[in-house]
Amino acid sequence: MSLSLTSLGGHMAAAVEGIDLNQPPDTTTAGDLRRALLDHLVLCIRGQALAPLPYRDAMRVFGTPMKQITPAATHPDCDEILVLSSEDRDTLGDGKKLVVGAHWHTDDSYKAVPCALTMLYGIDVPATGGDTQFTNMYAAYDRLPAAMKDRIAGLSAIHTYDSSRKGTRVAKRTDTDMARMPAVTHPLVRTHPETGRKALYLNPNRMEQVAGLERAESDALLDALIAHAIQPQYQYRHRWQQGDIVVWDNRCTMHKANADYPEGARRRMHRVIVEGTVPV
Ligand code: SIN
């Protein structure tokens, strides 16, 4: 297979063409895909037509797919695929429409061992709207003033599924599930386990408080770091094409979904996440 790589956002994101993931990539191509993701943080593999199990299997090139934990949204043919749809409703909560990931976040940070990568496969893509935005957390860290880098070195934030600071509603979970998800603490700056680079590690939707700081001081610090990290110069906005598989690295990016497509337009994505490591 020959890999053709095109930069999408300049400072982050690239598109891959000329590859059909129905054929398992050879060792060289697999290595090239992993390298391209490390270099570009967000990788869009264009023009795929994959049934659920071949999709899950193809994603093994990037890591070990994890079983989904939301039964109602899990694909009936594949335990590792979560279906995200414009028809989603908060079935355990108020039953109203729910847009998963509509506020800036990194996936899974409410877990002690968050997933490393997320893959989203565009099954039904609206003609307009529904973009996914990304922000580059290496660049956001690199360009912090030295005094701020010194201030946050060694600080950690408490992350929880249903944070009081969250920017959007999150799907209600059962009491049993909530009991399995105690709050966890992660560093504000993490070192990427493969590149060795430092990145801000924030999740506006899940962070409750900076450990050891009073609430007001913690809120002011988190607000300042978030405002810095989501500035337009750190962002890339992905406009979906049918058949795109977009892979992103949660260890050095944040992302958000946009539900700005017309009423009645259909947006349906198949999401896979792969295992990560404890953030340090
Ligand atoms: C997500 O946050 O995992 C979903 C992003 C999207 O639907 O664009």
Q: Is 255 a catalytic residue?
A: yes
Could you tell which of 239, 256, 273 is best to mutate to test the pocket of ligand 1, judged by most ligand atoms within 8 Å of the CB?
Answer: 256
Report which protein residue has its CA nearest ligand 1's atom 1: 101
Return the residue whose CA atom lies nearest to atom 3 of ligand 1: 101
| For ligand 1, atom 2: residue with the closest CA | 101
Amino acid code (one letter) for 68: Q
Active site residue: 40, 75, 105, 270, which one? 105
Do residues 211 and 219 make contact, with C-beta atoms less than 8 angstroms apart? no
Give 279 Cα–ligand 1 centroid separation in angstroms. 21
Tokens coding 230: 């989501």
Question: How many A from CA of 63 to the centre of ligand 1?
Answer: 19
> Does pTM surpass 0.95?
no
- Residue 21 is encoded by which pair of tokens? 């993931």
Q: Which runs of consecutive H residues, i.e. helices, occur in 10-73?
A: 27-40, 52-58
Could you read off the pLDDT tens digit of each residue along the chain, which spans 280 residues?
Answer: 567 899 998 899 999 999 999 998 999 999 999 999 999 999 999 999 999 999 999 999 999 999 988 888 899 999 999 999 988 776 666 766 777 788 999 999 999 999 999 999 999 999 999 999 999 999 999 999 999 999 999 999 999 998 999 877 777 778 787 778 899 999 999 999 999 999 999 999 999 999 999 999 999 999 999 999 999 999 999 999 999 999 999 999 999 999 899 888 999 999 999 999 999 9
Report residues whose beta carbon is within 6 angstroms of any ligand 1 atom.
Answer: 84, 100-101, 107, 118, 120, 132, 255, 257, 269, 271
- Of 107, 108, 244, 249, the catalytic one is 107
What's the 216 CA to ligand 1 centre distance in angstroms? 30
Residue whose CB lies within 8 A of the most ligand 1 atoms, among 108, 255, 270, for a mutation test? 255
In Å, what is the CA distance from 220 to each residue of 143, 150, 165, 213, 229?
Answer: 19, 17, 12, 10, 14
Q: Please report the DSSP string for 89-129 in residue order.
A: B-TTTT--B--TT-SSB-TTTTSSS--SEEEEEEEE--SS-
Tokens of 144: 């912090």
* Displacement of CA 164 from its chain's centroid (Å): 21
